[in-house]
Structure 1
Amino acid sequence: MQLAACIEWMFADAGTDLAARIRAAGAAGVKSVECHLWRDKPLDAIEAALRESGVRLRSFCVDPRRSLADPADHDAVLAAIADAIPIARRFDGAAMIVASGFTRAGVPEQDQFDAVVAVLKRAAALAEQSGTMLWLEPVYMVVGGQRMFVDTIGRGLDIVAAVDSPALRLLADVYHSAQTDEALGPAIKGRIALVGHVQVADTDGRHEPGTGSIDWTQVMSALREEGYRGEIGLEYFPTLPDAASLDAARKALGLAG
């Protein structure tokens, strides 16, 4: 498995300039990077850095973020995805990441599930027609007592299966999953074909794998047993200088060397 790095959090030794961080990632042997929202990014400079370093932009977040669980937001969701598609195509098919939005108080769970599936069917059709890819990311977050509607890998996979499109896959974030006490192995068992990408960080603290309580040997064994061959995205806040942080993550994940 190869590594991808969240360029907004990693390679900070190169400074605040994202293009410089991309070059640093390439020099360290990391061939894919990821970023969050795209509208505030220096896209021309990023594109030049990617080209010069031989690094690929693996993914970015659809911007602005809107709720998949609320039908009142669906037009805005689709408009944001339509805006993101040219960016995905510009950057060699970088995947477009969406999250569900928060649960809606007083609305039956099935209604919210159906709303997410309905809008993602339309969004996936847009992506498929354009030759691009969407990733649904379960996110653990609580605001005002409301959790994100999709905050576990299991529910995310249920939704990806219901949408049933080759243009939609799950971004399985091990950090967010662990926040819900979800067991990764059972969550992905028999459904790894629906997983497009995996991201990692340890809990608590969201730092390098190996700094917290997650059993990374168990995580990596579960992924291998299910046949995952994709990249592992490093989406954590480093506690060490660039080289040492990358080395520590590789060792914890059993990907050293």
Structure 2
Amino acid sequence: MPAAYPLSSCIEWQFAEAGDLAQRIRAAKAGGFDLVEFHLWRDKPVEAIGAALAETGVTLTGICVDPRRSIVDPAERAEMVQAVRETIEATAPLGKPPLIVASGFKVEGMSEEDHFANAVAALKEAAALAEAAGVTLLLEPLNTRLFSAMYLVSTTLGLDLVEAVGSPNLRLLYDVWHSAVMGEDIADVLKGRIHLVAHVQVADMDDRNEPGTGTVDWGHVMGTLESLGYKGSIGMEYFPTLPMDQSLELTRKTLAL
């Protein structure tokens, strides 16, 4: 029997007709979701979001460290660590959700070895804060189509960084769409390291819409996650092409959930 992964709605892009994020949480709950996620928090009604979460019993599966700062540029390291500290404090009333970290852009003239060493040093500082607070950091590889100069655009490199940091509070966020854009195969890049992955996000190729609208082999994706032993949730980080009830139905059918 296929694994019954719970689905998390990305309310940054979904249930927009409901209003602000607090109202989207209520709409997501009414639409059958117990899990939601969104992006940056500083421009959002955090207090109202907390009230909506408490009212509905919905859980946040991810929110971004804000502001975004580089993990590879030593000139931004202090700001990056401070952003993690402030995000931990600000989101504690939201249930201490996992906090998503992107790498920032490559530094011109810097060697690959120094990029890696700087990333490990910054992530070790951030992970120490996460350990003290009981929070998980999710390192997310992106892609060069959207961000041509981004440092972390490889799942393998992301997992190498997680391993090098060696903290139980730093894990990988594996985004199927970013990975597909980069031409990766899920079975190759996650083999033997699924224990380092704490969250998976899905969207179809090419236009980042719901599964079932594009060219991703979802049988292969979901079969790989199950065979490797993934135990987490699936984040629906896509732009819906259908009303959300129909979009959810298509997603569940396509992912066999």
Of 94, 105, 110 in structure 1, the residue corresponding to residue 108 of structure 2 is 105
C-alpha deviation, 1:146, in angstroms:
4.0
Is the contact made by 1:105 and 1:146 (CA closer than 8 Å) also made in structure 2? no
Whole-angstrom distance in 2 between the partners of 1:146 and 1:57: 30
Aligned equivalent of 1:115 = 118
Aligned equivalent of 1:199 = 201
Is the contact made by 2:53 and 2:94 (CA closer than 8 Å) also made in structure 1? no
User: For residue 189 of structure 2, what is the amino acid of its counterpart?
Assistant: A
Structure 1 residue ranges without an equivalent (≥5): none
Aligned equivalent of 1:33 = 36
1:43 matches 2:33: no
TM-score (norm 2): 0.95
User: For residue 172 of structure 1, what is the amino acid of its counterpart?
Assistant: Y
User: For residue 57 of structure 1, what is the amino acid of its counterpart?
Assistant: L
Whole-angstrom distance in 2 between the partners of 1:115 and 1:203: 33
Change (3 A) 1:95 1:156: same
1:3 matches 2:7: yes
Is the contact made by 1:142 and 1:148 (CA closer than 8 Å) also made in structure 2? no
Aligned equivalent of 1:244 = 246
Misfit runs of 4+, over 4 Å = none
**What is the 5 A alignment of 1:1-257?**
1-14=5-18, 16-141=19-144, 146-255=148-257
Please state whether the residue corresponding to 2:232 is helix, strand or coil.
coil
C-alpha deviation, 1:147, in angstroms:
2.9
Is the contact made by 2:49 and 2:94 (CA closer than 8 Å) also made in structure 1? no
Whole-angstrom distance in 1 between the partners of 2:145 and 2:218: 25
Count of residue correspondences: 253
Q: Tell me the alpha carbon deviations over residues 190-230 of structure 1, each in whole angstroms, 9 at most, x when there is no partner.
A: 11110010001111111001111111110001100110010
Please state whether the residue corresponding to 1:36 is helix, strand or coil.
coil
Identity %: 53
Compare 24-33 and 134-143 and name the one that shifted more: 134-143
Is the contact made by 1:31 and 1:56 (CA closer than 8 Å) also made in structure 2? yes
Structure 2 residue ranges without an equivalent (≥5): none
Is the contact made by 1:38 and 1:61 (CA closer than 8 Å) also made in structure 2? yes
Query: RMSD of aligned C-alpha atoms?
Result: 1.3
Whole-angstrom distance in 2 between the partners of 1:209 and 1:110: 37
User: For residue 4 of structure 1, what is the amino acid of its counterpart?
Assistant: S
Compare 157-166 and 133-142 and name the one that shifted more: 133-142
User: For residue 7 of structure 1, what is the amino acid of its counterpart?
Assistant: I
Is the contact made by 2:116 and 2:161 (CA closer than 8 Å) also made in structure 1? yes
User: For residue 41 of structure 1, what is the amino acid of its counterpart?
Assistant: K
Compare 85-94 and 28-37 and name the one that shifted more: 85-94
